[in-house]
Amino acid sequence: MFNFSQKIGIDLGTANVLVYQKGKGVVLQEPSVVAVNKDNNKPLAVGTEARRMLGRTPGNIVAIRPLKDGVIADFEVTEMMLKHFIEKTVSKRPIFKPEVMVCIPVGITEVERRAVEEACNQVGARKTYLIEEALAAAIGAGMPVAEPTGSMIIDIGGGTSEIAVISLGGIVVSESLRMGGDQLDGDICRFVREKYNMVIGEKTAEEIKFQIGSAMVLEDKTMDIRGRDLMSGLPRNIEISASEIEGALSESVATIIEAVRSVLEQTPPELASDIMDTGVIMTGGGSLLGNFDKLISKETEIPVFLADDPLTCVAKGTGQAIEEIDQLKDVLFNKKKAYK
């Protein structure tokens, strides 16, 4: 099949990789995990299949999350993962190699930018563009980013949280935290170990977060969990409540709210007034934590809304940006220079 201009947008996330393909939408959504055979250093499984192996691998296999805190921690494994996902999405024998747009966190260093570009070029991209994650999230959430009006986005991913005010296609004020939903899992593990002398894995912690995790408990509920007793070394069940988890998460939640406040404080008054009128939009999987939007709204006295399908906004925005790259080039790339 001829396909002259394969354009794909990649949300290369700490927790999930999403690929958006021109004309098709989000065509791939899989966890950012690779299972590697240590004997020959070859990937054994990538994505969903590899995630099932996390914490359950024999000695010669390791299940690796190659991205940490939003950036590439293991370059070689990231390349394996990108290669697998790009090959899975683009047609088998493309006439032209694909053009790829990848989103990156706002605070990323030049070395980290080059690492992402190099990884895409290594796996066969004809041209690689980078877009800041907050901007991609705002585009994907349908915000009028190119207009002369203030749009505020809070994107909470697995390893990073980006808070930004955008106007005329550029980021005017932003904060980027190297923490997100995954840190909340760590908070839960630590809490259970300290309070109940019990060890739980990160998958169990995430399950607790999904089921009873909340930034602000409005109605308490409980959940039975299973882990390993630290003293006896044996499996044990306990019941845990949503308000206990709220307490365990409070410090990380407060850090994110503090960053939101800091962005608001630095926002020029005209743009702040636009934001008061239109509200803030939350994207990213971390924004699905129970009542997070309500708590931020309560603490900042600004309307806060959860985007439709928050997990796919960044990928959609990245894909839309590459679809319209010719029109957006001036707005996105010149603006970025102007605000540097």
Ligand X SMILES: Nc1ncnc2c1ncn2[C@@H]1O[C@H](COP(=O)(O)OP(=O)(O)OP(=O)(O)O)[C@@H](O)[C@H]1O
> Which residues define the annotated binding site for ATP?
14-16, 158-160, 206-209, 285-288
> Looking at the DSSP assignment, which residues form a beta bridge with residue 198?
229
Kindly state whether residue 140 participates in binding ligand X, applying the rule CB under 6 A.
Answer: no
Residue among 66, 159, 169, 227 that touches ligand X (CB under 6 A): 159
Kindly state whether residue 208 participates in binding ligand X, applying the rule CB under 6 A.
Answer: no
What is residue 33's DSSP assignment? Answer: -
**Sign for the pseudo-dihedral over CA of 316, 256, 16, 86:** positive
CB of 69 to ligand X, least distance (A): 7
Kindly state whether residue 11 participates in binding ligand X, applying the rule CB under 6 A.
Answer: yes
Could you tell me which stretch among 40-48, 175-183, 317-325, 330-338 binds ligand X (CB under 6 A)?
175-183
Kindly state whether residue 175 participates in binding ligand X, applying the rule CB under 6 A.
Answer: no
Could you tell me which stretch among 155-163, 165-173, 243-251, 274-282 binds ligand X (CB under 6 A)?
155-163
Could you tell me which stretch among 53-61, 206-214, 225-233, 298-306 binds ligand X (CB under 6 A)?
206-214
Site for ligand X in 281-310 (CB under 6 A): 284-286, 288-289
The percent helix, strand, coil of the chain (3-state, each to 5) is: 40, 30, 30
Cβ neighbors of 282 (< 8 A, separation 6 or more) are 153, 154, 155, 156, 292, 293, 296, 304, 305, 306, 307, 310
What is residue 58's DSSP assignment? Answer: -
61 backbone φψ class: left, alpha, beta (φ>0; ψ -120 to 50): beta
Kindly state whether residue 319 participates in binding ligand X, applying the rule CB under 6 A.
Answer: no
Kindly state whether residue 16 participates in binding ligand X, applying the rule CB under 6 A.
Answer: yes
Kindly state whether residue 157 participates in binding ligand X, applying the rule CB under 6 A.
Answer: yes
Contact 5/96 with Cβ under 8 angstroms?
yes
Could you tell me which stretch among 157-165, 221-229, 243-251, 269-277 binds ligand X (CB under 6 A)?
157-165
* CA angle, residues 210, 214, 217, in degrees to nearest 5: 135
Whole-angstrom distance, CA of residue 24 vs CA of residue 30: 17
Residues in contact with ligand X by CB under 6 A are: 11, 13-16, 70, 133, 157-160, 180-182, 206, 209-210, 213, 284-286, 288-289, 311, 314
